[in-house]
A and B are shown apart, each in its own frame.
Chain A
Amino acid sequence: MANEYDVVVIGGGVAGALIAWKLAEAKRKVLILDAGEKRLHKTDRAAFVKLFAEAVNSKKSPSQPYVDTDNSKFAHSPDVQDFNPADAANKLYYRQLGPNMFKSQYQRLSGGSTWAWRGNTPRYIPSDFKLKTLFGVGVDWPITYDDLESWYCDAEDALGVAADHKEWNGIFGAYRSRKFPMSKIAQAYGDQQLKRRLDGVKIDGVKVRIFALPQARNSRKYDGRRACEGNSNCVPLCPIQAKYDATVHVKKALKLGATMVEQAVVTDLKVDASGNISEVVYKTWPDGQTTSAKGKIVVLAAHAIEAPKILLNSNGGSGIANSSDQVGRNLMDHPGGEGAAIMPFQVFPFRGPQSTSCIESFRDHKFRDQFCAFRLTIGNDGWGRTQHPYDTFKNLTDRKLFGEELQKELNHTVTRQLRVAYSTEQLPDPGSRVTLANETDDFGIRKPQIAYKVDDYTRKGMEYVQKIIKLMFTKIGANEDEWEFSDLKAGTYSGSGHIMGTCRMGSDPASSVVDAGCRSHDHQNLFVAGSAVFPTSSCVNPTITVAALALRTAASIQKQLAT
């Protein structure tokens, strides 16, 4: 039958694309349904670059090139700018119920949110999988670091991760059985200056190490893609695709015979009498036509907000895969912020990738039973969110500077601007959840609504991390009068775009949505892929863990299909 497949994959982001690729490679008949557009050609990338370049600076956001397409109507992607207005709760795609604002966005188009990521790929460490056992907070994963290690290696090969094996092998017990496929991304000039002054120094009793950040970005030609040319624009997009994005594996899957239907928004997963998913119903846009497809296996890889939305909307709105009442719960992010300072030396930002170095030394600190772990990234983009160079420029022209005096002052200020960004761990909270709003989108599908809280465990950690960054700035000799920090007293935090939880994995069907193999406890032919299955968040970028789990899930699916 034309609409019958071995596997129907919902979502063409990194998780869905990797699974589709591996199963197409195994000669399975695969269908990828993507809510957004299939923008796979070089001309598509060039069009996005043009949209970015021609947008006024106040509109240049991580989602900007993508929300300026028809996607914004039919496959809406929230944008950071949606979080700013005072009445944001009434303007967002998803209604926000509070008590805090959820501030992360995602992209709904082929390739998903990897269009607008920095390519950072640090692994989780062993303790991240055992938070409850080791620290008495959160929950344990049903799998361990050992279970995932070889899949991490495969994921690093698939995405093309550049890093230094010696630096990362064994960090907090995270051993490596294979070297990275590429040598590390060369560290930026400014990072080297910091490294000279900080590496090996003890800050609050912790020895600080400045590592080259593992990144899915080419340090040489790899997998047919060019080496990074330092375009300073990993987010919202790499103009030459030196940075990995999931269109790589969408294209590989299609080349191996997979089918993709773009602009296909899934509206319902129908369940048969045996409890299996019998049909995937979707509407294509802009025509609004309803179609369906059948798969022996269905993979829901639609990200941590769209995935529960689809599950809760299914079966006539009564929901599926939810006997545990856990679908949509435990929504997490990595609430972040930054400390910015004028360095006593030039760092020359905006040359090279937006970040090349990191400090992991506080990922497993001694206070983790009391407040969250965190990691630090050294920005190579001036003062980042704190102050864009255009704003520095405006400050100077407001002071009536012009001509050579303006040039001199602008150079003197911006070339010494440096920021240290932090991202923090967030515990699962069943009250932070995605449910369905009464409002519907243009297809009549009930929109997601979000309740979200940043708790004291995370907020105390943010206080500690700012103390650590201030100690670092002092050690470097940065003038305290020229520091700027995210205002914690005002409750300030930013989203990291790391949307996790909402379909968590676990051994007990009463308290989790999927099992350790990412298969639904309730439906034997339904798998959930992506960061939605994460029981806890760690404090690091989730993508390489998403990719490792996806490859592991693809192998499980292949086994199930073979039986």
Chain B
Amino acid sequence: MAQPSELVLFVALSKVLTGEKKLDKTLADQYLQRLKAQSPTSMQKILDEFSKIADDPFLTFEVKRRIVETKQAGKEDLPLMAQQIIRIWYTSEFFPLGPDGKLILGPDGKPVPSGGTQKQFYDGLLWRVIQAHAPTHSTQKYGYWTKKP
């Protein structure tokens, strides 16, 4: 389990990044652990940075300025880490960052994805945002596809 304050911080940051008003706490804890385990340096940095602006009345603006689009020296990995947080919520996958704040590459020179569990795949926000469901995870009956969602 993550420290409560850390989890609260992660959920708050995730809400801004994903655009979701409500996020599942259990999933949040699982994602935080995965991100911390595989990208510890950059995760700590992004949480530290966010903690400085978490109470800002113009939070979205500040997240954009200080994290998503920052070009500040020493914080070049924050935009990339923000993308990974969005990615894990939307797809259950992310690309881990090394201690140098860069994507870890495989032998083929491509980033190496880290996949999630079956439930995490099904809970990917992307499918809900496009008004569909994850493949193999319909919860509806025959013919629902003939109507608008």
**A residues apposed to B, CB below 8 Å:** 49-50, 52-58, 186-189, 192, 219-220, 227-233, 237, 239, 346, 348-353, 356, 380, 389-390, 393-394, 397-398, 400, 402-407, 410-411, 414-415
CB of B141 within 8 A of chain A?
yes
The distance from the CB of B39 to the nearest CB of chain A, in whole angstroms, is 16
Q: Which of B12-20, B22-30, B42-50, B96-104 contacts A (4 or more CB under 8 A)?
A: B12-20
Q: Known contacts A54-B121, A390-B126; decide if A403 and B60 are in contact (CB<8 Å).
A: yes
Beyond the given A186-B143, A389-B130, A410-B130, could you list 14 further A-B residue pairs with CB under 8 A, ordered by the A residue number? A54-B115, A188-B146, A189-B145, A189-B146, A229-B140, A348-B149, A350-B130, A393-B90, A393-B91, A394-B87, A403-B17, A403-B19, A405-B19, A411-B131
The distance from the CB of A448 to the nearest CB of chain B, in whole angstroms, is 27
Beta-carbon contacts under 8 Å, B106-131 to A? 113-118, 121-122, 126-127, 129-131
Residues of A within 8 A of B130 (CB): 348-350, 389, 410-411, 414-415
Residues of A within 8 A of B117 (CB): 54
Does A57 lie within 8 Å of B93, measured CB to CB? Answer: yes
Residues of B within 8 A of A397 (CB): 83, 86-87
Does B146 lie within 8 Å of A402, measured CB to CB? Answer: no
Q: Known contacts A186-B146, A380-B145, A402-B68; decide if A230 and B115 are in contact (CB<8 Å).
A: no
The distance from the CB of A346 to the nearest CB of chain B, in whole angstroms, is 8
Which one, B16, B115, B126, B149, contacts A402 given CB within 8 A?
A: B16
Residues of A within 8 A of B115 (CB): 54-56
Closest B residue, CB atoms, query A85: B108
The distance from the CB of A32 to the nearest CB of chain B, in whole angstroms, is 28
A389 and B140 alpha carbons, distance in the complex (Å): 21
The distance from the CB of B98 to the nearest CB of chain A, in whole angstroms, is 18
The distance from the CB of B140 to the nearest CB of chain A, in whole angstroms, is 7
CB of B148 within 8 A of chain A?
yes
The distance from the CB of A413 to the nearest CB of chain B, in whole angstroms, is 9
CB of B136 within 8 A of chain A?
yes
The 9 closest A-B pairs by CB, nearest first: A352-B145, A350-B132, A233-B135, A53-B118, A403-B19, A56-B115, A227-B142, A404-B19, A56-B113
A192 and B146 alpha carbons, distance in the complex (Å): 8
Does B138 lie within 8 Å of A230, measured CB to CB? Answer: yes
Does B135 lie within 8 Å of A232, measured CB to CB? Answer: yes
CB of B82 within 8 A of chain A?
yes
Residues of B within 8 A of A402 (CB): 16-19, 63-64, 68, 82, 86
The distance from the CB of B97 to the nearest CB of chain A, in whole angstroms, is 15
CB of B58 within 8 A of chain A?
no
Interface readout for B69-97 with A: 1 if CB under 8 Å, 0 if not? 10000000001001100110011010000
Q: Known contacts A230-B138, A400-B68, A411-B129; decide if A57 and B91 are in contact (CB<8 Å).
A: yes
Does B131 lie within 8 Å of A348, measured CB to CB? Answer: yes
Closest A residue, CB atoms, query B17: A402
Does B17 lie within 8 Å of A219, measured CB to CB? Answer: no
A192 and B145 alpha carbons, distance in the complex (Å): 11
A229 and B145 alpha carbons, distance in the complex (Å): 9
Residues of A within 8 A of B121 (CB): 53-54
A-B contact pairs, 27 of them (CB 8 A): A56-B113, A186-B142, A188-B145, A230-B143, A231-B138, A232-B136, A233-B136, A239-B136, A349-B132, A350-B127, A350-B132, A351-B131, A352-B146, A356-B145, A389-B126, A390-B126, A393-B90, A394-B87, A402-B17, A402-B19, A403-B16, A403-B17, A405-B19, A406-B19, A410-B129, A414-B130, A415-B130
A132 and B17 alpha carbons, distance in the complex (Å): 62
Which one, B93, B118, B136, B138, contacts A56 given CB within 8 A?
A: B93
Which one, A230, A389, A393, contacts B142 given CB within 8 A?
A: A230
Residues of B within 8 A of A58 (CB): 113
Does A352 lie within 8 Å of B136, measured CB to CB? Answer: no
Does A229 lie within 8 Å of B142, measured CB to CB? Answer: yes
Q: Known contacts A228-B142, A397-B83, A402-B17; decide if A189 and B132 are in contact (CB<8 Å).
A: no
Closest B residue, CB atoms, query A242: B142
A338 and B118 alpha carbons, distance in the complex (Å): 30
Residues of A within 8 A of B142 (CB): 186, 219-220, 227-230
A351 and B90 alpha carbons, distance in the complex (Å): 18
Closest B residue, CB atoms, query A414: B130
CB of B36 within 8 A of chain A?
no
CB of B133 within 8 A of chain A?
yes
CB of B52 within 8 A of chain A?
no
Does A415 lie within 8 Å of B146, measured CB to CB? Answer: no
Residues of A within 8 A of B113 (CB): 56-58
Residues of A within 8 A of B146 (CB): 186-189, 192, 352
Does B143 lie within 8 Å of A348, measured CB to CB? Answer: no
Residues of A within 8 A of B132 (CB): 232, 348-351
A229 and B146 alpha carbons, distance in the complex (Å): 12
The distance from the CB of B51 to the nearest CB of chain A, in whole angstroms, is 18
From B90, B130, B133, B145, name the one whose CB has the most chain A CB atoms within 10 angstroms: B145
A58 and B145 alpha carbons, distance in the complex (Å): 26
Residues of B within 8 A of A230 (CB): 138, 140, 142-145
A414 and B149 alpha carbons, distance in the complex (Å): 14
Does A390 lie within 8 Å of B131, measured CB to CB? Answer: no
A380 and B135 alpha carbons, distance in the complex (Å): 12
Closest A residue, CB atoms, query B121: A53
Residues of B within 8 A of A228 (CB): 142
Closest B residue, CB atoms, query A227: B142
Residues of B within 8 A of A407 (CB): 18-19, 129
Q: Known contacts A229-B141, A348-B149, A390-B126; decide if A403 and B93 are in contact (CB<8 Å).
A: no
A192 and B64 alpha carbons, distance in the complex (Å): 41
Does A50 lie within 8 Å of B60, measured CB to CB? Answer: no
